[in-house]
Structure 1
Amino acid sequence: MTFIDDYLTEEAKKDSIPEKSPPEGKQWGYDLYPERRKPDTTPNVSGLLDKKGYENIQKIKCERNVYKCIKQSPIIKLMMGALKSSGCPVDIRRHISCEECDPSVSGGFDPVLNQVVVCQNGAKKPAHVQGVLLHEMIHMFDYCRHDLNFRNLDHLACTEIRAANLAHCSFMSAWVQGDASLFNIKATHGDCVKSKALSSILATRNVSTEEAVDAIERVFPKCYRDLEPVGRRIRRNSDDMYKAYTEGFYYGYDSV
């Protein structure tokens, strides 16, 4: 899921990511990420008993899960290596942020700050954090490698298709979503990817369902075939993540 904010001043935008700052415009991520729009506050002892204190505890747990994924998850290590090899190394203190979000989302990618957002109130378990990191790092990878314009609906549809394809749509997840069919597994996976991409677009863009579906259909064949940098679709309860990580060096991706 991606979003674009305009809360930064022009000078701050230049400082944050000078090489690819999106153009001026209204906020396109709605208010799903409220901490993107307010100054940071320093935790204090008295705050541990109020809502802010609870959020601080959530943030610490989230950051621990992020660190654990980066150190132990083969698929996240692959993404870190692929980003580094592509000229966009990830500094977890700079490029990954745990924040309080709207309950409807678990994460996001902010191209203005070039940051992955992990929603500390939504993604609470390591496996969920891993899924969020993988999804959003695919957006980060696409933004790094290509001239990606998140205000272009076709570009957005393509990166959402890729993220759903590589990070989410196992047969079981498709079954839960109601997109599964025992008789046509290939079509099942494609339908799941389209459904996930559609929900992500509608959550963060003020467009009609028809407009979003049309964009997805226009770019689907090409973007669905693009499996970089993972190289395969990850099946649940398989060793696909480990295979993808061990094969990464064949494609010039650094080991991390």
Structure 2
Amino acid sequence: MNADANSQANPDSGADPPQTEEKWGYDLYPERRGQKYQPSLAKIALLGEGRENIDKIKCERNVWNCAQKSPIVKLMLAALKSSGCEVDLSRHVACEVCDVSVSGGYDPELNQVVVCQNVARSEGMTQGVLTHEFIHMFDYCRNKLDFKNIEHLACTEIRAANLSHCSFLSAVGQGDASPFKIAKAHQDCVKTKAALSVMAVRKVSEPEARAVVDKVFDKCYNDLEPIGRRIRRNSLDMHKAYMERFAYGYD
């Protein structure tokens, strides 16, 4: 399971040694394999839980609205369709209750994006989750990435953070930028975000995650497909990327 974690996204690397008891991040998504989230009485009383069906309806509405109105989500849907991996929202996107440490994920075994209905509650957050996870889906579709290969995992997390996450404000929030630390703030933000995603999925230490991110960083950071540009917050970049989709062959 690839947590929120093209033509050149597949770095040269060997296969990882087999691991028999690795959960691959599925423990963050209890509903992935038929479990049903059951809030405790304390959580119902103190945290207002117990409205999972209502949350699911709101989440599914946000997904639908993003697919209809968001330029960046529409671009990703067009890119997937043109790559032979057309998305059916009812089949390939699922709203579920997740661990609160993640807002979404991509399940390559089921080829399905998970939107965490208890975390990504707004349309804006849903747009971010869909864009991020559709990049993973695009990488898996176009290049058959092996998400159990930690270098492949690091590469797609770099690409997703690069193309959908790391604005200057995001970098500030992660401690990778400040008014006195601007140079390479975006790259540092991408490295931090990618390393955190690798750690969430593979349960490796931070030094191990950062080492593998550094190893594949240059190649994966410079691969901008299918968006073609890094999206700046509060800019026209999303609209420009959508209008330029024909240059990449995306209808």
Q: Aligned residue for 2:76?
A: 79
Q: Aligned residue for 1:2?
A: 2
- Alignment deviations for residues 40-83 of structure 1 (CA, whole Å, 9 cap, x no partner): 79xxxxxxxxx885100000000000000000000000000000
> Is 1:33 the counterpart of 2:29 in the alignment?
yes
**Does the CA contact (< 8 Å) of 2:103 and 2:115 recur in 1?**
yes
Q: CA deviation at 1:84?
A: 0.3
Pick the structure with more helix per residue: 1
**Does the CA contact (< 8 Å) of 2:196 and 2:209 recur in 1?**
no
Residue identity in the other structure for 1:156 = L
Q: CA deviation at 1:24?
A: 9.5
Task: Return 177-186 or 68-77, whichever deviates more.
Answer: 177-186
Residue identity in the other structure for 1:161 = I
Q: Aligned residue for 2:225?
A: 228
> Is 1:134 the counterpart of 2:146 in the alignment?
no
Correspondences of 1:129-168 after superposition (within 5 Å): 129-168=126-165
Q: Distance in 2 between the 1:232 and 1:76 partners?
A: 14
The 1:212–1:39 alpha-carbon spacing in structure 2 relative to 1, beyond 3 Å, is closer
Unpaired segments ≥5 residues, structure 1: 4-22, 42-50
Q: Distance in 1 between the 2:95 and 2:25 partners?
A: 17
Q: Distance in 2 between the 1:38 and 1:119 partners?
A: 16
Q: Stretches of 4+ moved more than 2 A in 1? A: 23-27, 181-186
The alignment partner of 1:81 has SS state of helix
Residue identity in the other structure for 2:2 = T
Q: Distance in 1 between the 2:175 and 2:53 partners?
A: 37
Q: CA deviation at 1:37?
A: 2.2
Q: Distance in 2 between the 1:89 and 1:40 partners?
A: 29
Computed over aligned residues only, the root mean square deviation of the Cα atoms, in angstroms, reads 2.1
Q: CA deviation at 1:210?
A: 2.1
Residue identity in the other structure for 1:93 = S
Residue identity in the other structure for 1:2 = N
TM-score normalized with structure 2 length:
0.85
The alignment partner of 1:121 has SS state of coil
Q: Distance in 2 between the 1:40 and 1:183 partners?
A: 47
For these two proteins, the number of residue pairs brought into alignment is 227
The alignment partner of 2:106 has SS state of strand
Residue identity in the other structure for 1:240 = D
Q: Distance in 2 between the 1:39 and 1:184 partners?
A: 45
Residue identity in the other structure for 2:30 = P
Greater relative contact order (Cα < 8 A, sep 6+): 2
Q: CA deviation at 1:172?
A: 1.4
Task: Return 231-240 or 175-184, whichever deviates more.
Answer: 175-184
